[in-house]
Chains A and B, each alone.
Chain A
Amino acid sequence: MSRALLQVQGVSKRFGGVQALSDVGLDVLAGHVHGLIGPNGAGKTTFFNMITGLVPSDSGRFELDSRPYKPTAVHRVAQAGIARTFQNIRLFADMTALDNVRVGRHVRTRVGWWQAVLRTRAFLHEEDQITHKARELLAFVGLEGKAQQTARTLSYGDQRRLEIARALATEPKLLALDEPAAGMNATEKVQLRELIERIRAQGRAVLLIEHDVKLVMGLCDHVTVLDQGRLIASGTPADVQSHPAVIAAYLGAGHQPVAAKGEGA
């Protein structure tokens, strides 16, 4: 049995008159792909932004790797070991693919500006390591031939994968993906799924917000379903799929439970 990597309990958030989240909790187990689904406005992205420090929570307890974790400042989140991608891709558009990933290494490197100016041995060594690791990651996501291309000139699918490579460069314990398959065609989705499976194989946990039910059901080890700010179901994809509340709220009342393609069902 895997241990819990990220434990979240009792999270609530109110935006003015809207209760975006009420008493939501979930455990992401180490080495698992954890899906977070729900209809539009269910509070998925708010929950996600809360974990990654973008939105402060009204209440709730967080624990990362058995240590209390307070997502207060955004930059501390990556230092603590959670890296994210964005629903609307946010790459460093005018920088090369390689430099995008190298920025991701920043948080795991130390050399100061005076060492950069003096080109000390420590600097050169670290710079070598940064570049080596960045190229490895580009190869890992299948962008090895595009290292010197400016990020904005990459195709949509490539930009998504570059964002994942950049997040992986921070050596996260948990990789949080916000609708990574949005706007992808069928081939790109297959590639994405295969990429997430390889990330899981490295022992990293993945938290996945996704609208594509087929992808979620086929890929995830565990699925949490939100609706109108409440947790309505949590379990294996098969459990969740046959859960009456999920069928009613998410797939639509009167919907017949269908087996998703693949091993998930």
Chain B
Amino acid sequence: MSSSSSAFASSRLLTFLVCAVLLAVLPLALQPLGEAWVRILDTALLYILLALGLNIVVGFAGLLDLGYIAFYAVGAYLFALLASPHLAENFPAVAAAFPHGLHMPVWAVIPLGAGVAALAGVLLGAPTLRLRGDYLAIVTLGFGEIIRVFMNNLDAPANLTNGPKGINSIDPITIGGVSLGEPLQVLGFTLAPVTLNYYFFLFIVVVAVVICLRLHDSRLGRAWMAIREDELAAKAMGLNTRNLKLLAFGLGASFGGVAGVLFASFQGFVSPESFSLQESVLVVAMVVLGGLGHIPGVILGAFLLAALPEVLRHVAGPLQEMSGGRLDAAILRQLLVALAMIGIMLMRPRGLWPSPRHEDRLMPDEAQATATGGPR
């Protein structure tokens, strides 16, 4: 037993090391091909973070949330306001208080973004507690749109969000005096800003994965799954479903908030159109496509749906030429993404990489691990 488990552990360690090296080298390999490729990776990492957060709400607790992108918007606008000249330009009081402009450091804004988004998650979750399934989806969809409409219209009477024009000149993230917005020379190798952002995003995503895995294997993870499976039975087991659902909404939203902060600093610009309903649907699609509730599946789903359109860009071009320019590349891409999703859901209805079914496995350690005798 011990030899086999240590072999298992060492093979896992090996897999982990290989993955770590691959992920570390990937942007360096892609950077010479063009920064656009690394940018795709950065975007994919942001989507992975969003999908992981939504997975807590939809995958773990079974609450279909179609307005999740609102928390992304909250995080993005929070950083945009706290790390750009916008507030100082529009509010003399802010300009007087911060003569050098408002430039909040990222280590302060990330927890703040997580906190504010979590608060928004709880506030938006509270009225929906009695709703389930389709009804919950419709209400959350509405909430998501409300946040976007607010961002779009809060340029008057006081110009808080600059309306549809959005907020620009947002600071890049600075860590330990190193700005992620400028190229960095390391051992004669130039790391582009997109590559630096990649490493920072990767770090955040790894932390998020660890948090998700640990939540999953805890009494809370089990309680959420119990609510997903049968809410009444969960209540009868003494689970306070109201608090547990609010916790899921809050924790899930906090991931969206952090992703929003990263997004704002990465783009240097935010506007309401980045947070449309389509984005919410895309994140839900990532979670469902990958495998509801299964963290590796969700990561795979997010990566594929974030990267697939970019790959299809290269396929759509030749197809457009073949049709003599009659097919529009953008429409063709959407069509291909839709076809791919329909195909995947037909062939793998539980997602590309669903959580393993337990009955398929033999558990040799069961008998010996079982204590005999009755409970006290």
> Does B251 count as interface, using CB distance less than 8 angstroms?
yes
Query: Chain B residues with Cβ under 8 A from A182's Cβ?
Result: none
Shortest Cβ distance from B368 into chain A, in angstroms?
Answer: 10
Q: Looking at the complex, which of B144-152, B192-200, B230-238 is the stretch in contact with chain A?
A: B230-238
Query: Residues of A contacting B222 with CB < 8 Å?
Result: 95, 99, 102-103, 106
Contact status of A116 and B214, CB under 8 A, knowing A130-B219, A136-B371: yes
Q: Is B104 an interface residue (CB 8 A)?
A: no
A174 to chain B, nearest CB (A): 13
Interface residues on A, range: 35 or more
Assembled-state Cα–Cα distance A77/B233 (Å): 12
Please give me the residue from chain B that is nearest to A149 by CB atom.
B359
Q: Please report the number of residue pairs spanning A and B whose Cβ atoms sit closer than 8 angstroms.
A: 143
Instruction: Count residues of B near A (Cβ-Cβ below 8 Å).
Output: 39
Instruction: Decide if B219 touches A109 in the complex (CB within 8 Å).
Output: yes
Contact with A along B343-354 (1 / 0, CB 8 A): 000000000000
Question: Chain B nearest CB: distance from A45 CB in Å?
Answer: 14
Quick one: which of B225, B237, B369, B374 contacts A166, CB cutoff 8 A?
Answer: B237
Stretch at the interface among A20-28, A79-87, A222-230, A255-263: A79-87
Which secondary structure dominates chain B's binding surface? Answer: helix
The segment from B32-40, B178-186, B239-247 found at the interface with A is B239-247
Q: Which residues does chain B contribute within 8 Å of A52, judged by CB atoms?
A: 236
In angstroms, how far is the closest chain A Cβ from the Cβ of B122? 13
Q: Which of B235, B239, B240, B247 makes the CB contact (< 8 A) with A113?
A: B247
CB distance from B211 to the nearest CB of A (A): 5
| A79 in contact with B238 given A127-B219, A148-B358 (CB within 8 Å) | yes
Question: Any chain A CB within 8 A of the CB of B134?
Answer: no
Cα A135 to Cα B214 with chains together (Å): 21
A127/B238 in contact, CB under 8 A: no
Per-residue 0/1 for A140-175: is the Cβ within 8 Å of any B Cβ (1 yes, 0 no)? 100011011110010000000000001111100000
CA distance A52 to B235 in the complex (A): 10
Chain B positions within 8 Å of A166 at CB level? 237
Asked if B371 and A132 make an inter-chain contact with CB atoms under 8 angstroms apart, the answer reads: yes
* A198 & B214 in contact (Cβ 8 Å cutoff): no
A117 within 8 Å of B (CB atoms): yes
Partner of B359, one of A117, A137, A150: A150
- Determine the distance from Cα of A169 to Cα of B226 in the docked complex, in whole angstroms: 15
B367 interfacial contact with A, CB 8 Å: yes
Nearest CB in chain A to that of B250: its residue: A113
Question: Is there a chain A Cβ closer than 8 Å to B220's Cβ?
Answer: yes
* CB of A86, distance to nearest CB on chain B (Å): 7
| Interface flag for A241 (CB, 8 Å) | no
Chain B residues near A127 (CB-CB < 8 A) = 218-219
Interface-central residue, B236, B357, B373, by most chain A CB under 10 Å? B236
A142 to B211, CA, bound (A): 35
11 interchain pairs, CB-CB under 8 A: A52-B236, A74-B235, A74-B236, A75-B237, A83-B237, A83-B238, A103-B239, A113-B218, A139-B370, A139-B374, A202-B374
Per CB-CB distance, the 3 closest pairs between chain A and chain B, nearest first, are A78-B238, A107-B238, A116-B218
